[in-house]
Amino acid sequence: MATSAQSPHHDNHGQTPAAWTAVVIITLAFVVGTVGMVIGQWWMFWVGVGMVVLGGIAGKIMSMAGLGMPRADARADHSSTHG
């Protein structure tokens, strides 16, 4: 029987409000863009492209506001002061 190596511990794995907001906006953007392309409404396709950009920006802004995963150096500083 093969022994599996332990994987490194992941605190969060992207399950943050910033990540989920970005994913939801970008998923809706792909739906809007796909529908626009299928029905031949190119303005709708370009709205979807714009929504992808806005989803990325929204996720980054929310992450910078503290709603994302903490940076690795911030976690190291936090654990060293409470260890």
pLDDT at 38: 97
First CA to last CA distance, the chain: 37
Query: Residue 67: pLDDT band by 50, 70, 90 thresholds?
Result: confident
pLDDT-derived band of residue 4, with 50, 70 and 90 as boundaries? Answer: low
CB 32 within 8 A of CB 42: no
> What pLDDT sits at residue 7?
60
Instruction: Note the pLDDT tens digit of each residue in 16-66.
Output: 899 999 999 999 999 999 999 999 999 999 999 999 999 999 999 999 998
